Amino acid sequence: MTKSTSCLWVTCPIIIGAGPSGLATAPCLKRKDSVFNKTVVSAEFDNRYGVLRVITSELKREQIEYVSQWLIVATGENADEVMPFIEGMDDFDGPILHTISYRNGRSYGEKDVLVVGCGNSGMEVALDLANFNAHTSLVVRDSFPIRLVDRFALGDTEKFGFRHPKIGPLKLKSISDLSGNKTNNVPWGGVCGRKEGERFDAIFLATGYKSNVAQWLKGTYLFSEKDGIPREPFPKVWKGEDGLYAVGFSRRGLLGASSVAQRVAEDIELQWRDAPPNFMDFSTALSL
């Protein structure tokens, strides 16, 4: 069954992404209406009419093409999960899921569960699993100790008021959590068992996220086709050609996204004052 497509000309900028970056940009542009439950199929610049075309899809098998002079990509660096290939995955009998699919540990009580990765997601999932009485183990990547990395980056951190505790968080967690359940730490290596002959019932991969811009944005230099990240480093990361902008890719957190959002709004405002969009100028583009 083919999807029907309708075309809509909008005089305001199009923002793709309703996370922190998109929500920071919208108020700067003084827009209060949002369109939800849409999946972006493609976005590209139309050289014939000097406009950006964004095609979205929804569950009702209807596609809508939005046409505007400005497109703001605010999907961020963490749009899709990273699913690494690990040798032996095909031979594992239990589920192997990314932590994006994790809801709670209710169905994992008294089961042996391995969490690969100990960033924010990995630590939170491991703790929640332990709270539901799962026998939780963590795979920690082998790298420089945090104490050594801190000294490389900051020197002596105690002069800033940061003193290292005698017992670190991983060691403290391996002793006991608040409910008395123990969580094991597993050195990086095979994922089929804590030791030879011992297997897990389920594996959660807390292996991070990546940009998905390269999957749907076409024909632009601003974003790399390889990883969907802007090619130019900060501060050139926010503006491309033909009315294309990027918010949330500066690698400077929420403060950076807020700063870039204000820059984008100011730049569009200047263009709006110089030459406000005219519906009649682009009416022919809508008929295609």
Measured between alpha carbons, how far is residue 288 from residues 6, 40, 66, 240, 282 in Å? 10, 19, 12, 26, 11
**What is the spatial distance between Cα 18 and Cα 34, in angstroms, rounded to a whole number?**
9
- Of 209, 238, 256, which marks where a domain is finished? 209
Instruction: Give pTM, 2 decimals.
Output: 0.66
pLDDT of residue 287: 35
Please give the Cα distance from 213 to 199 (Å, whole number): 38
For helices 253-274 and 20-28, angle between their N-to-C axes, nearest 10 degrees: 40
Rounded CA-CA distance 30/13 in Å is 11
Same domain? 275 vs 235: yes
Q: Tell me if 84 sits within 8 A of 205, measured CB to CB.
A: yes
**What pLDDT sits at residue 196?**
54
Residue 235: what pLDDT? 78
- pLDDT at position 223 is 92
* Residue that has been written with the tokens 């050139």 in this structure: 236
Q: Which of 209, 231, 258 is the last residue of a domain?
A: 209
Same domain, 165 and 251: no
Clarify whether residues 219 and 176 are in a common domain: no
Domain of 59, CATH number, reads: 3.50.50.60
Task: Give Dmax over CA atoms of the chain in angstroms.
Answer: 72
Last residue of a domain, one of 175, 209, 243: 209
Same domain? For 90 and 201 the reply is: yes
- Do both 223 and 275 map to the same domain? yes
CA distances from 280 to 9, 10, 45 (A): 10, 12, 19
pLDDT per position in the chain (288 positions), as tens?
Answer: 456 667 878 778 889 988 889 888 888 886 545 555 577 888 888 888 777 888 888 766 678 888 888 999 999 888 899 998 888 888 888 999 999 999 999 999 999 999 998 888 998 999 999 999 999 988 876 655 666 666 666 667 677 666 666 666 555 544 444 444 545 554 444 444 445 556 899 999 999 999 999 889 988 889 988 888 898 887 788 999 889 999 999 888 888 888 899 999 999 888 877 766 554 444 433 333
Pair 54, 126 in one domain? no
Rounded distance, CA 134 to CA 130, Å?
5
Token pair recorded at residue 85? 């290939």
* 64-83 burial code (b ≥16 CB/10 A, e <16): bbbbbbbbbbbbbbebebee
Q: What is the pLDDT of residue 3?
A: 61
- Give the count of alpha carbons within 13 A of 131, CB side only: 10
The residue count for the chain: 288
**281 in the same domain as 251:** yes
105 and 199 in a common domain:
yes
Same domain, 143 and 233: no
Whether residue 225 is found in the same domain as residue 127:
no
pLDDT of amino acid 288: 32
* Domain count of the fold of the chain: 2
Identify whether residues 205 and 99 lie together within a single domain: yes
Range(s) of the domain holding residue 74 = 4-79+211-286
Q: Give the pLDDT of residue 72.
A: 93
pLDDT on residue 283: 40
Residues 90 and 181 in one domain: yes
